[in-house]
Amino acid sequence: MKQKKPWGGRFTKQTAASVESFTESVSFDWRLYEYDIEGSIAHATMLARCKLITEKEKDAIVKGLSEILKEIHAGKFEFKKSLEDIHMNIESALIERIGEAGKKLHTARSRNDQVALDMRLWTREQTRLMTGLLSVLQKELVKKGKDHFGLIMPGFTHLQHAQPVLLSHYLLAYVEMLERDKTRLHDCYVRLNKSPLGACALAGTTLLTDPLHTAKLLGFQGVCENSMDAVSDRDFCIEYAFCLSTIAMHLSRLSEEWIIWCNDEVKFIEISDAYCTGSSIMPQKKNPDVLELIRGKCGRVFGHLMSLLTLLKGLPLSYNRDMQEDKVAVFDAADTVQTSLSILAELVANTNFNGEQMMQACENGFIDATALAEYLVKKGVPFRKAHEIVGNIVRECIRVQCRLMDLKLESFKAFSSAIEKDVYEVLGVENCIKNYKSYGSTAPGLVKKRIAYWEKKLSSSSPRKNTD
């Protein structure tokens, strides 16, 4: 038998099967069920408070919804595509269960403000969840930084050897990025934390309701000020997708580097066998597929951000069915970043750093040349002049195939009389590292302090609730 539609009153024909399957969203928005029920309970509580339903009816609604929640949790609830979406599935089940009282739940509410509410509740929880996952990855990076304190690697610009840095300094660079990601999520959270409930279809209601009360029950920091904006706004989805895109981009940069780092010519890291995969034809292969997939999935997340922007562009006020598509994009972007963050944290914990190889690499590329130029500055040579002198010295070293530190003092003197025998105290990777001074630099003392700072900060970050 065909399902009776909750909106079927004015219709004379059954919905075509093709339309039902084209327009349904319950196959993906079922994930909102907890938030939908939480919102409905708050709404019913407000309706009772405003005497739009009786206390008894409210109790029946709350009990019915709580039972439905348990049923869904237990996997025993049957989602029907003929009932379109999660909202109508739950409302119909409630009416089936408790009868007349259930028919009053939708008083002073539309699916338009209901879905806007559910998405805000979902995204709000997601920002917390994602923040927790970012902390886990940060902790792993800090731990590696602490365990390997003292290891020196070539720092790169243009992917060419530039100046030596501590491996810990490199790792902490990502910790800083991930911290910014957290603050971005928090900004998103603050902006979205307003209740759209009460906007109804678009214009509000003629009934005497108390949206502020519902907002308070749901932990919102106030109510959306304009009902048309409340049901039309999906800025928070775009903003969240942008936060996710930035996280994905950061993960992708690290992945790209580490893919290079496990290349046979570089070999800075060795990822545990448990986090690599092999080749179906080449028996010797051990590939960094996890990192490649994190890098690859980044494209998906960016794509979803673009989908959302395009989805909203040109949509007239207020609600339009197009908006149903927001979930497809936001859910997948969130799932993708969530799994990437989790697996990367595991992979970091299961990666070894090859200090000798890094140190060996530091021997190439004259990565102490800038230190030599700064040495000359300290001797009173203007920097631009010092730059030229050292450039000439490097050219000579390339010609005779030696490192800067291999040159005799007389050879140095031929380029600049300012160079004295203390020059050997600034040359070489270890000297370079030792001599860094500026704030935020890779100076070992500063890096050590920053490790301690992160350890303390991250140990006090509370574990987040995962309700998804």
Point out which residues bind ligand ARG (CB under 6 A).
Answer: 25, 29, 85, 111-112, 115, 319, 321, 323-324
Interstrand relation of 269-271 and 351-353 (parallel, antiparallel or unpaired): antiparallel
92 preceded by a cis bond (ω within 30 of 0):
no
- Do 416 and 388 form a contact (C-beta atoms < 8 A)? no
Question: Could you tell me the two tokens for 218?
Answer: 């749901």
CB of 197 to ligand ARG, least distance (A): 14
CB of 81 to ligand ARG, least distance (A): 12
Neighbour count for residue 369 (Cβ, 10 Å): 21
How is 144-159 classified by DSSP, letter by letter? HHHHTTT-EEEEEETT
Which helix (H) or strand (E) segment is 165 a member of?
Answer: strand 160-166
Sequence-distant (6+) residues with CB within 8 A of 278 are: 285, 286, 287
Sequence-distant (6+) residues with CB within 8 A of 266 are: 260, 357, 361
Nearer of residues 85 and 181 to ligand ARG, judged by Cβ:
85
Let me know how long the chain is.
468
Catalytic site residue from 21, 27, 279, 342 = 279
Cβ-count burial of 406 within 10 angstroms (0-12 exposed, 13-18 middle, 19+ buried)? exposed
- If we measure between CA atoms, which residue out of 438, 426, 429 comes closest to residue 166? 429
Nearer of residues 45 and 112 to ligand ARG, judged by Cβ:
112
Radius of gyration of the chain (CA): 30
Catalytic site residue from 158, 280, 438, 462 = 158
Distance CA 111, CA 94 (A): 16
Neighbour count for residue 272 (Cβ, 10 Å): 12
Sign of the CA dihedral running 47, 49, 53, 57? positive
Active site residue 387: no
Active site residue 279: yes
CB of 236 to ligand ARG, least distance (A): 14
Sequence-distant (6+) residues with CB within 8 A of 296 are: none
The residues that are catalytic are 158, 279
